Amino acid sequence: MLDLHGALRKSGRDGTAARRRFTVTAIVSDSERKMKTTTGYSTLQILLHWAVALGVVFNYIVSEGMGRALDQQIQSQPVTVSIASLHVWIGVAVLVLALLRIALRLALGGPAAQPGLLGKVSSATHGLLYLLILLVPALGAVAWFGGIDAVAEPHAVLANLLVILAGLHALAGIYHGVVLKDGVLGRMFRPA
Ligand code: HEM
Ligand code: HEM
């Protein structure tokens, strides 16, 4: 679709910079073309979206005392914080489900972003949410199973960022459903 050679010919003396620019554009447009565009999500994609969302919110609420639990774990003392194993295993489940979600998204694709700046903001938010649902439990697991205290704080800080971003994302979803009534909210409830 891109006339790469024509563009480079036209660029004349500035050929090297143009080649670099057009090559990057070609790579981006190529990866976009490879991602399948659908009218909505499969039943499994929808179930995974809500299971991950529930797991994230649950673990955010059930996290008090985890700092103390980690200290006990690192010092090989008995862990006396009652919610610790719940937080750890729900978090591990989120990590596994998130990996499955991302694999499914790559295999099945999803709806195209809306055109314009809002579409770009929405795609960027979704990308960041995908990154955080991997990174937050992964850092937690490194802290807990690896006994590495240095990643405990990044884990807790990024968990806050994840919940804030998910809150804004949920508000955007509700705005679509209540104000715009454009079917976007329904996409996460009814399989395509
Ligand atoms: C989506 C998943 C997760 C979320 C939203 C989450 C959320 C949080 C939050 C908010 C805290 C701070 C608690 C506080 O300061 O009182 C925390 C701490 C902690 N979490 Fe998670 N967590 C998740 C997954 C995991 C996993 C998978 C593990 C381990 C396998 C884990 C282990 C820990 C540990 C060890 C701490 C203590 C960190 C510290 O010393 O400050 N978390 N988590
Ligand atoms: C921790 C909580 C949540 C996380 C991590 C999360 C994550 C995501 C991600 C990564 C996507 C992109 C799907 C894709 O195209 O591959 C998405 C889509 C979506 N989410 Fe969430 N979400 C959360 C909570 C919610 C809530 C509470 C709502 C309800 C208001 C919601 C409504 C939607 C809708 C409607 C879409 C489809 C958007 C579209 O098709 O353009 N999400 N979510």
CA angle (123 as vertex; 119, 129 as ends), nearest 5 = 145
Judged by DSSP in three states, 192 sits in coil
pTM: 0.86
Of 142, 145, 168, nearest to 154 by C-alpha is 142
Q: How many domains does the chain have?
A: 2
Give residue 101's domain range.
38-188
* 9 or 108, which is more confident: 108
Residues 20 and 50 grouped into a single domain: no
Residues 42 and 86 grouped into a single domain: yes
Residues 58 and 25 grouped into a single domain: no
Instruction: Work out whether the CA dihedral 169, 172, 174, 176 comes out positive or negative.
Output: negative
Q: Kindly state the average pLDDT of the residues 122-148.
A: 98
Instruction: Specify burial of residue 146 (Cβ count, 10 A radius: 0-12, 13-18, 19+).
Output: exposed
Residues 89 and 11 grouped into a single domain: no
Residues 74 and 27 grouped into a single domain: no
Residues 26 and 46 grouped into a single domain: no
Q: Kindly state the average pLDDT of the residues 35-60.
A: 96
Tell me which residue has tokens 């919110």: 57
Question: CA 187 to CA 185: how far, in whole Å?
Answer: 5
Residue nearest to atom 27 of ligand 1 (CA): 91
The confidence score (pLDDT) of residue 34 equals: 63
Residues 23 and 97 grouped into a single domain: no
Would you say the CB of residue 192 lies under 6 angstroms from ligand 2?
Answer: no
CA angle (87 as vertex; 82, 93 as ends), nearest 5 = 140
Has residue 191 got a pLDDT over 90? Answer: yes
Interval between CA 192 and ligand 2 midpoint (Å)? 15
Question: CA 190 to CA 42: how far, in whole Å?
Answer: 8
Q: Can you tell me which atom of ligand 2 is nearest the CA of 189?
A: 35
